[in-house]
Each structure stands twice: as C-alpha cells, then as structure tokens.
A = this chain, B = another copy of it.
Amino acid sequence: MKWCRYTANDSTSYGIIEGDTVHEVSGDPIRQAQGEHARTGATHSLGAVQLEVPVIPPTFYAAGINYPEHVTWAAHMRGQEPDLPKKADVGYRANNALVPHGHDIVVPADATEQLQYEGELVVVIGKECGPTSTGPVSETNALDYVFGYTIGNDVSERTWQRGDRTMWRAKNTDTFKPMGPWIVTGLNPDDLHVIIRVNDRVVGEYDVATALFGVRHYISEMSKYLTLVPGDVLWMGTEGATENMVDGDLCEIEISDIGTLSNRVNWLK
C-alpha cells in the first residue's frame, strides 16, 4: 500500500495512492490502529496535490556511516585509513531540515562547493517497541514494528562536516533533509535497490542489503535502550562516493518498489 501526506484545498491529510489517484483518509494511518482511519470518499489526481513530508518524526534517527565503500571513500577524503563501525551506533538528524519531494534544496550563500547528496532508504516505525513496552525485540520480529519505507536525501556540506564540532549545519541546515515522496508498506528492505541521479546521470547505485548493519539489526539493538514510537524514522545511510552538486542541479533518489525523490539545488547568492 502506498501512503502519502498531501495538501489540497488548503487542508493537509493522509491519502492512499492507487494509480494516479489519491484517496483521502481520515485520521493518521501511522499513529492509529489500522481500523481507525477510513477513506472519506474524496479523491484527487496525484498530479494536482502538493505532496508533504510523509511523516514528521518524534525522533529522527540516522544510521550514519553504514556502507563499506562509503566509509572507505570518506576516510580517504580525510586522508585517513578507513575504520568500519563495529556496532550499530545510531545518530540523529533534525526536523527543521525536512522538506518534501519537489522542494528546493536551498543552500546558504556561505556554503562551500562541497555540497553533496546521500541517497538513503528511510524506515518509518509503525508500532511502539522498547524497554518498557515490548522489551528488546529480536531481529526475527523487528520488521513487525515497521509501518513502511520512504526515501531520504541526506544532503551534506562536507567542509562544515569536517570543520565543525557537530553536524548541525553540515547536515541540518533548513531544506537539507528531503524525504518522500510517499511511504510504501509491505516491502522487504533486503530486496531494495537504490539509484542516485544528478541531472539524469547515474552517480551512484547500490543494494540496500549490502549495509554493514541492516534494518532488523538496528531496530533490535535500539530497542534494548530506547523506545521507538510510531512515526519515528530511521535513515539507513548511503553507499559509495558522492559528488558535489551545483546551483540548478536536479538530484533524484530512486528506490525500487518505492519511487523517486526529486529535489533541485537552489544556491542563494
């Protein structure tokens, strides 16, 4: 099933996408039990609605460095030997930076030329798990707590990423976290394939399953210490080298069985 969050006639709702039609639903499909939302009967053409960020997470998790070639490339860029993470330590991103499919990536005038994409699978949590509810969940059961999957572009200004003490502006400047266009349920993350394009040129491609630590492992490890709640998102990291983008570039992240997240770079003068 394909869920979107959208605005039409000045009102924002969740909807089910079937073909080119959006069927409006009442309620919040992610945070409510499955029975509690229903189609209102209203429909829209998909092309006529404004797609919104598909969920605003209570906590915004990001696996960070989680693919071997990306870790190796990033280390060489810093003149260091690669040091593959030995554990699934999760990081954070910030809600201020989220923008939907189709929204510009707006780059501050003082950013350096090292503005880069990172195409990532995004896991959307659908059911609470953690120390005081379920206890730690096993890898076997971990996907039971997933609502569905969407796509993220972890836009990064590498000079700030290396030079600042934290990644606050390198990765969390407003508009640096495009997410969408919608959420697809019922997928096996191990089957998914990511293709990254800049202006129609393929600049990266990988299988989600080549991650150092997979979705099941992250959820299982996290649930030992923290409570995941419906709507939380976990960005799974990217693979491979990444390249600079310039003003006007269109960056597209395509994930098989989900769709394509497209955002254009708008560099402030």
Contacts and interface: CB of A to CB of B under 8 A. Distances in A.
Interface of A: 56, 58-59, 61, 64-65, 85, 87, 89-92, 94-97, 106, 108, 130-132, 164-166, 168-169, 172-174, 222, 224-229
B90 A166 contact: yes
B96 A174 contact: no
A125 to B, nearest CB: 11
Identical chains in the assembly: 2
A165 B59 contact: no
A92 B95 contact: no
A84 to B, nearest CB: 11
Contact of A90 (B58, B168, B173): B168
B165 A64 contact: yes
B165 A87 contact: yes
A82 to B, nearest CB: 14
A225 B64 contact: no
Given A91-B168, A130-B174, A174-B227, 17 more contacts: A59-B95, A64-B165, A65-B165, A85-B165, A87-B165, A89-B166, A96-B226, A96-B227, A96-B228, A96-B229, A97-B226, A106-B131, A168-B225, A172-B225, A172-B226, A173-B226, A174-B226
